[in-house]
A and B are shown apart, each in its own frame.
Chain A
Amino acid sequence: MALYFFTPFIAIILTILGGGIIFYILGFNPIEALKFYFITPISNLYGLSELLLKATPLCLIAIGLSFCFKSNNWNIGAEGQLTFGAIVGGGVALLFYNQEGFYILPLVILAGAIGGMIFALIPAVLKTYFNTNEILVSLMLVYVSKLLLDYLVVGPWSNPEGFNFPETRQFSDSSRMPLLFEGLRIHAGIFLALAAVMLSWFILYKTYLGFQIKVSGLSLKTAKYAGFKGKTMILVVFMISGACAGLAGVGEITGPIGQLHRMISPDYGFTAIIVAFLGRLNPFGIIFASLVVALTYLGAETAQIFLQIPKYTGQVFQGMILFFLLASDYLLFFKVKILNLKKNELRH
């Protein structure tokens, strides 16, 4: 069990080593490049705020995904649920673009969560009633949602005073997440993420639903034998997951962005899958993992400025983390095998 939570650290260390080797091959001083990547970005207050800002959506989405993954439902379309949540939430915010009022932000947030939830219900309903593969459906819907967003910001929702830029009007101040500190971009959305962590811990470890989810993940046959309502559970975990992704989307547009445009998310929905795995689908593990993965985003931006390397390099690190994590799981597998062998020997 200890090894189970220890291997993510092995994966992170191997990733840093691997990154150093890649930097060396590309002709950079690896120590210096890694310093720009992992230390410079968080060596001041602004950097720390940016780290939390990027970790917030990752953490929210990964918490939602943990419900799906724990119960063996492969929702990999969180990016689509994020986008659709942002569209619905953003639509509400645009309705109130010239109004102020304390009730607007809660409405916008609620709309975002519902939007994500509805979008996640599509693969869930198709899976439960038509037996379709949720991996493929949720993945296809990512592109559908991104094209819908593209259509809206270019067409009907584009800012009438915006000189045909592909963006909507700015949201009113009442639709914006309150900032926590003057001059920093970190906003109240972080409390949504923390609330999600607490709530998910409670649901997963203290309720009957959580028990059902875990049993279904371990063995579908056992779950069936125990008489769990499989269909309802699939719908519920997808709804939770979609709502979290929708919240993340609405947090981005009401937080740092303040309007809708084409690029509302640098693939947070996909990266959150890495976060969920790195955090071992454990609510508190996910907090830690979201900070680590957020740092790869920040580091990539810093490295782009100081070393002139494309910011896509963040994805090299993200991919490597998941590779090494999955690979180190083999150690666990191996250990289980050895233990089983010993047990058998004892029996003989």
Chain B
Amino acid sequence: MSLDISFIGILIGSIMASSVPLILAASGELITERSGVLNLGVEGMMIIGAISGFALMVITDNLFVAIVGSMLSGVIISLIFGFLTQSLLTNHVATGLALTIFGIGLSAMLGKNFVGIPGKEFPILFSSLRESIPFFGPILFGHSIVLYFAFALPFLTNYFLKKTKLGLVVRAVGDSPVSASNQGINVILVRYCCILYGGAMCGLAGAYLSLIYTPQWIENMTAGRGWIALALVVFATWSPIKVLIGALIFGGITILQLHMQAIGFRIPVQFLSALPYLMTIIVLVVISRDSRKIKLNTPTSLGRIFYKEK
């Protein structure tokens, strides 16, 4: 029995690890969307973060530089999106798609010389406690610092949005850009900041994949996680805490299918993999049916272009 319990502990630990990129990317995208901007470029920003993080690690041999660099590269690539949608008033959907397509291509181009290079071991915290405490050890300890940050992020995001003045500004800009603008808020500037923040978090999510989760560079290694993160924001009805819960469910499904494959379970893995997408559609239907619910949950101006007459 004790063996089973420790196995479940390890299982939960691995579910947490697999949900980290989803939490990071979705929390970033959540802030972006809360300001009224729909950025479909999550996958592209993540993959750029993954290659820049890995490349910087190989070049500088410094993991700190690699992590910071991946966030910066996310910021830079999201700046393209920000400039186009905010300054040149382009359509959010088309621009975001272009960003994803561009990011996947560019990352493969940049990563050409980094294929097959082994990664470096990322330091984990409290590794001794992990072994000594049954069940709770593998859940609470022996993770990278990025994981601890990721699990704190939804709470920080929640605090930011609900309790700080800046958070209120972000929500105001997303829900009613015209009145926010009339109140003297620089809507475009706020949206720029939210887009760049989203880029930084997506870059970090990518770096988590290439530096910590599977420490190597593989073309297209984000493998659709960016799209799941996008789904997750909707699934969570734009609430940071629900992002955390949703990421654990979606991450759990990923881990579960690996184990079910191993046991030879009868449900085809593809059906499990499709669950996050199907669940997101169901949530969308449930929240959209009622116009009051949709007003409560969705940033009202999501995806709409804001233009200030001068």
| Chain A residues packing against B (C-beta within 8 Å) | 22, 26, 74, 76, 126, 130-133, 135-137, 139-141, 143-144, 147-148, 150-151, 154-155, 267, 270-271, 273-274, 277, 308-310, 312-320, 322-323, 326-327, 329-330, 333
Instruction: Report the separation of the CA atoms of residues A273 and B291 in the bound assembly, to the nearest whole angstrom.
Output: 30
Q: Is the CB of B284 within 8 A of A326?
A: no
Q: Is the CB of A148 within 8 A of B102?
A: no
Q: Is the CB of A323 within 8 A of B274?
A: no
Q: Is the CB of A126 within 8 A of B281?
A: yes
Q: Is the CB of A322 within 8 A of B94?
A: yes
Counted as pairs of residues, one from A and one from B, with CB atoms less than 8 Å apart, the total is 147
Instruction: Report the separation of the CA atoms of residues A201 and B104 in the bound assembly, to the nearest whole angstrom.
Output: 34
CB distance from A117 to the nearest CB of B (A): 19
**Taking the complex as formed, is B181 at the interface, i.e. its CB lies under 8 A from any CB of chain A?**
no
Instruction: Report the separation of the CA atoms of residues A320 and B105 in the bound assembly, to the nearest whole angstrom.
Output: 10
Residues of B within 8 A of A139 (CB): 40, 227, 230
Residues of B within 8 A of A320 (CB): 102
Q: Is the CB of B84 within 8 A of A327?
A: yes
Q: Is the CB of A326 within 8 A of B90?
A: yes
Residues of B within 8 A of A330 (CB): 88-90
| Chain B residues packing against A (C-beta within 8 Å) | 38, 40, 44, 80, 84, 88-91, 93-95, 97-109, 111-112, 219-220, 224, 227, 230-231, 234, 268, 270-271, 273-274, 277-278, 280-281, 284-285, 288-289, 291, 294, 303
CB distance from B35 to the nearest CB of A (A): 17
Q: Is the CB of A312 within 8 A of B104?
A: yes
Known: A143-B277, A274-B101. 5 other contacts (CB 8 A): A76-B93, A136-B281, A141-B277, A310-B112, A333-B89
Instruction: Report the separation of the CA atoms of residues A30 and B150 in the bound assembly, to the nearest whole angstrom.
Output: 42
Q: Is the CB of B280 within 8 A of A136?
A: yes
Instruction: Report the separation of the CA atoms of residues A133 and B294 in the bound assembly, to the nearest whole angstrom.
Output: 11
Q: Is the CB of A143 within 8 A of B101?
A: no
Residue of B with least CB distance to A122: B281
| Residue in B108, B219, B288 whose CB lies within 8 Å of A132 | B288
Residue of B with least CB distance to A26: B109
| Given known A322-B94, A326-B84, contact A312–B109 (CB-CB < 8 A) | yes
| Given known A136-B231, A323-B80, contact A312–B98 (CB-CB < 8 A) | no
CB distance from B244 to the nearest CB of A (A): 20
Indicate the member of A76, A136, A141, A330 with the most B CB atoms within 10 Å.
Answer: A136
| Given known A319-B105, A326-B90, contact A270–B285 (CB-CB < 8 A) | no
Q: Is the CB of A316 within 8 A of B84?
A: no
| Given known A131-B291, A143-B274, A329-B90, contact A270–B101 (CB-CB < 8 A) | yes
Instruction: Report the separation of the CA atoms of residues A154 and B271 in the bound assembly, to the nearest whole angstrom.
Output: 13
Indicate the member of B38, B98, B219 with the most A CB atoms within 10 Å.
Answer: B98
Instruction: Report the separation of the CA atoms of residues A164 and B12 in the bound assembly, to the nearest whole angstrom.
Output: 33
Q: Is the CB of B219 within 8 A of A273?
A: no
CB distance from A220 to the nearest CB of B (A): 13
| Given known A76-B93, A270-B97, A326-B95, contact A136–B102 (CB-CB < 8 A) | no
Q: Is the CB of A319 within 8 A of B280?
A: no
Closest 10 CB pairs of A and B: A319-B102, A315-B105, A312-B108, A316-B105, A322-B98, A326-B90, A151-B270, A310-B108, A140-B277, A147-B270
Instruction: Report the separation of the CA atoms of residues A318 and B94 in the bound assembly, to the nearest whole angstrom.
Output: 12
Q: Is the CB of A315 within 8 A of B277?
A: no
Q: Is the CB of B105 within 8 A of A312?
A: yes
CB distance from A282 to the nearest CB of B (A): 16
| Given known A131-B294, A132-B288, contact A319–B94 (CB-CB < 8 A) | no
Q: Is the CB of B101 within 8 A of A271?
A: yes
| Residue in B84, B102, B271 whose CB lies within 8 Å of A151 | B271
Residues of A within 8 A of B109 (CB): 22, 26, 309-310, 312-313, 316
Residue of B with least CB distance to A331: B88
CB distance from B276 to the nearest CB of A (A): 8
Residues of B within 8 A of A323 (CB): 80, 84, 95, 98, 102
Residue of B with least CB distance to A131: B288
Residues of B within 8 A of A316 (CB): 102, 105-106, 109
Residues of A within 8 A of B285 (CB): 126, 130, 132
User: What are 19 A-B pairs with beta-carbon distances under 8 A?
Assistant: A26-B112, A126-B288, A137-B281, A137-B284, A139-B40, A139-B227, A140-B231, A140-B277, A141-B277, A151-B270, A270-B101, A274-B101, A319-B99, A322-B101, A323-B98, A326-B84, A326-B95, A326-B98, A327-B84
CB distance from A268 to the nearest CB of B (A): 12
